[in-house]
Structure 1
Amino acid sequence: MTGKIAYFGKDGKVGFVSHELPEPGPGALLARVLSSNICGSDVKNWKSGVSLGVGGEKTCQGHEFVGRIERLGEGVTTDYAGQPIQVGDRIVAAYYITCGECRACKMGRYDQCENAYIHLGQSPEDFPYFSGTFATHYYIHPKQHFYKVPDTLPDSLAAGANCRFSQIYYGLEHVGLAAGETLLIQGAGSMGLYAAAIAREAGATTIVIDSVADRLEMAKRFGADHVINMTDLPELADRERAVRELTGGRGADVAVEVTGVAAAVEEGFHHLAPMGRYVIIGTNVLSAKATLSPGYITRKSLTVTGVARYLPEYLHKSLLFLDKFQHKYPFDEFSTGTYTLDQLEEGMQMVADRKVIRAVVTPEL
Structure 2
Amino acid sequence: MPSGDTGQLVYLSEPEHLEMREYEVPEPEPGAVLTRIERANVCGSELHIWRGHHPEVKNGVLGHEALCRVDELGEGVETDYAGEPIEEGDLVAPAYFITCRKCPPCQEGQFHLCENAYRNWSKPPEEPPHFHGTFASHYFIHPDQYFYKVPEGLDPGVAAGANCALSQVIFGMDKVGVGYDETVVVQGAGGLGLNAIAYANERGAETIVVEGVDGRIDRAREFGVDHVVDFREYGSVEERAERVHDLTDGVGADLGVEMAGVPDAFSEGIELIRTGGRYLEIGNVSPGQTTEFDPGLLTRKSIDIVPVVRYDPWYLKRALEFLEENDGKYPYGDLIDAEFDLVDVDEALAKSDSREVTRATLLPH
The alignment yields a C-alpha RMSD, in angstroms, of 1.1
Q: Which amino acid aligns with 2:252?
A: G
Instruction: Verify the 8 A CA contact 1:213 1:229 in the aligned structure 2.
Output: no
Q: In structure 1, what is the equivalent of residue 351 of structure 2?
A: 350
- Deviation of 1:54 (Å): 2.1
- C-alpha distance in structure 2 between counterparts of 1:252 and 1:312, whole Å: 29
Residues 176-191 of structure 1: pairs in structure 2 closer than 5 A: 176-191=177-192
Question: One-letter code of the match for 1:46?
Answer: W
More deviation, 88-97/340-349: 340-349
Residue in structure 2 matched with residue 158 of structure 1 by the alignment: 159
Q: Which structure 2 residues correspond to residues 98-247 of structure 1 after superposition, within 5 A?
A: 98-247=99-248
Aligned equivalents of 1:307, 1:357: Cα separation in 2: 24
> 1:163 is paired with a residue of what secondary structure?
helix
CA distance, structure 2, for counterparts of residue 295 and residue 361 of structure 1: 47
Moved more, 332-341 or 59-68: 332-341
1:323 aligns with 2:329: no
Q: Measure the CA separation in 1 of the matches of 2:304 and 2:294.
A: 14
Secondary structure at the residue paired with 1:128?
A: coil
- Report what 1:41 is aligned to: 45
Identity %: 41
User: CA offset at residue 150 of structure 1?
Assistant: 0.5
Give the equivalent residue in structure 1 for 2:34: 30
Change (3 A) 1:135 1:226: same
- Gap runs ≥5 in structure 2: none
1:134 partner SS: coil
Q: Which runs of 4+ in 1 moved over 6 A?
A: none
Query: What's 1:333 paired with?
Result: 334
Counterpart CA distance in 1 for 2:157 and 2:296 is 44
In the alignment of these two chains, the number of paired residues is: 361
2: CA distance between counterparts of 1:312 and 1:266? Answer: 30
Counterpart-to-counterpart distance in 1, 2:335 and 2:54: 27
Distance 2:27 2:91 in 1: 19
Match 2:22 to one of 18, 23, 29: 18
| Shift in Å, 1:50 | 2.2
- Written as runs of structure 1 = structure 2, the 5 A alignment for 1:241-260 is 241-260=242-261
Cα 1:335–1:360 change in 2 (3 A) is closer
For residues 83 and 182 of structure 1, the distance between their equivalents in structure 2, rounded to whole angstroms, comes to: 37
Aligned partners of 1:185 and 1:208 also within 8 Å = yes
Q: Contact 1:337–1:360 at 8 Å: present in 2 too?
A: yes
Q: Secondary structure at the match of 2:160?
A: helix
By how many angstroms is 1:96 displaced?
Answer: 0.7
Please give the secondary structure, in 1, of the residue aligned with 2:40.
strand
Query: Structure 1 361/180 Cα, relative in aligned 2: closer, same or farther at 3 Å?
Result: same
- State the Cα deviation string for residues 304-347 of structure 1 (Å, max 9, x = none): 11111111111000001111112011111225111111111111
Deviation of the 1:11 alpha carbon: 4.6
Partner of 2:58: 54
Partner SS, residue 349 of structure 1? helix
The aligned residue for residue 312 of structure 2 is: 311
Aligned to 1:90: 91
2:13 counterpart of 1:9: yes
The answer (yes or no) to whether the contact 1:97–1:144 under 8 Å persists in 2 is: yes
Kept in 1, the 8 Å contact 2:275–2:302? The answer is yes
1:194 Cα offset (Å): 1.0
After superposition, the C-alpha distances for 1:89-110 in whole angstroms (9 at most, x for unaligned) are 0001111110011121122211
Give the TM-score normalised by structure 2. Answer: 0.97
8 Å Cα contact 1:52-1:121 kept in structure 2: no
What is the CA distance between 1:49 and its match in structure 2?
4.5
- Scaled by the length of structure 1, the TM-score of the pair is 0.97
